[in-house]
A and B are shown apart, each in its own frame.
Chain A
Amino acid sequence: AQSVTQLDSQVPVFEEAPVELRCNYSSSVSVYLFWYVQYPNQGLQLLLKYLSGSTLVKGINGFEAEFNKSQTSFHLRKPSVHISDTAEYFCAVSGNDYKLSFGAGTTVTVRA
């Protein structure tokens, strides 16, 4: 079974500042890792995913994440945030059964 821990429940950040959202996972098998964003009262939108290959993954809206197997981490970063990045962010992991296990979520609030 897989599990995910998002280390920050809330992250306030100023506009144009960088942001990092931390995610650690545990799994006994090969994993696939994902970051999703959720805006209020909406479904989830995929930001990026790691399936295999390069450990640095680039996604939409300027986000990127790095898979670190030795530290079992998949932290999400953006060098300069916008007001529109205010949302809930979920890290998720799945195995070969394609079932997703989500972290508790990180609320990002971008202030002018």
Chain B
Amino acid sequence: GAVVSQHPSWVICKSGTSVKIECRSLDFQATTMFWYRQFPKQSLMLMATSNEGSKATYEQGVEKDKFLINHASLTLSTLTVTSAHPEDSSFYICSARDMRGYNEQFFGPGTRLTVL
């Protein structure tokens, strides 16, 4: 149980295009999902908290117009990187918190984004 999937697992795009990454909780409902960014050999940095049915909460320094987050249902959150540039290349990981209130986040396998 408690499986989180991400799609795609990797994506290569041209500079200036937009890329959408999906995060799904497969066997539980998640009122809250989190988006993280991880650079090579570094730790995870929280980008934003996604709440079902409401606007996402972004961490300081994260451009909300560049990283659009939509939490449309209790099992799906999407992250869209708009007008991507090479510096947006990174490993993006989502996590989901079970709405039953367990204090544990379940992580997706990550999406490797490369912007050329």
The reply on B71 being an interface residue by CB < 8 A is no
Chain A residue numbers with a CB within 8 Å of B112 are 41
* A98-B97, A99-B46, A100-B46 given; A49·B109 CB < 8 A: no
Interface size on A, residues (CB 8 A): 21
| B34 with A99: CB separation less than 8 A | yes
Q: Which residue of the partner chain A has the closest CB to B44?
A: A102
How far in angstroms is the closest Cβ of chain A from B91? 8
For the complex, give the distance between the alpha carbons of A103 and B49 in Å.
19
Interface size on B, residues (CB 8 A): 23
Q: Chain B contact residues: over half helix, strand or loop, or mixed? A: strand
With most chain B CB atoms within 10 A of its CB, the pick from A51, A90, A100, A105 is A100
| A44 with B93: CB separation less than 8 A | yes
Contact with B along A73-112 (1 / 0, CB 8 A): 0000000000000000010001000111111110000000
| B110 with A105: CB separation less than 8 A | no
The reply on A42 being an interface residue by CB < 8 A is yes
- Which A positions have Cβ atoms within 8 angstroms of B? 32, 34, 36, 41-46, 49, 51, 90, 94, 98-105
- Which B positions have Cβ atoms within 8 angstroms of A? 4, 6, 32, 34, 42-46, 49, 91, 93, 95, 97, 103-110, 112
